[in-house]
Amino acid sequence: MRQIFLDTETTGLSAENGDRIVEIGCVELLHRKLTGNNLHLYLNPERESDEGALRVHGLTSEFLSDKPKFGEVVDQFLAYIEGAEILIHNAPFDIGFLNKELELQGRQPLRTYIDAVTDTLVMAKEMFPGKRNSLDALCDRLEVDNSGRTLHGALLDAELLADVYINMTRGQDALLMDVETGDADTRSTEAVDLRHISLPVIAASEQELSQHEDVLTQLDKASNGKTVWRNAANFVA
């Protein structure tokens, strides 16, 4: 599965009121492996950034003045994300801006070009209810190093999000095993899915059950009838 972690920086908070994208960062994950095939674009928004937005990303109009406009890179961007699952933290914000940029170029909405959108903020809220689930908070909770994040940058944030996602979903691969095939020169790695294999259940014998009961009886005597295992069994019954 090809997944793209995407983040944007913008001139403000409202695409409908004329704010524009100034930076796009994309990080590719293929079969849960970072490929290094990333996309990073600075864009000339043809307007000033709000003071609040400028404090967040630090991308001045002077710096962006010689960067391409979105219409000049739209084909490159669409070719890169085509058919992928797009993962975004607080997806409605970024999708709203991307859809507005695409609309200004006479293009279809983002979902037309991709397989799916996954909002990692929604995932985090379901996994950690009642806790802070900003990207910084998730980095701290999942031990992802974000020490280089002094200002928000689209590519850096996309890289951090990929690391956070891998940590959040690590348990999904707990029953996957890597198997090496081929000789030393042609060796490849295949994932063998063990989740659909029925494992045999071996019941204890009468002798083993009797020995277990003897141990519990001894523990009963030693603890004055406070054996945790027997109390738990009585509670379930």
How far apart, in whole angstroms, are the C-alpha atoms of residue 51 and residue 60? 10
DSSP assignment string, 7-64: EEEESSS-TTTT--EEEEEEEEEETTEE-S--EEEE---SSPPPHHHHHHH---HHHH
Cα–Cα distance measured from residue 126 to residue 49, given in angstroms and rounded to the nearest whole number: 34
Catalytic pick from 31, 40, 89, 152?
152
Burial class of residue 10 (count of CB atoms within 10 Å of its CB; 0-12, 13-18, 19+): buried
Q: Provide the β-strand partners of residue 41.
A: 24
Pairing between β-strand 85-88 and β-strand 21-30 as defined by DSSP bridges: unpaired
Is 152 catalytic? The answer is yes
Residues that are catalytic: 152
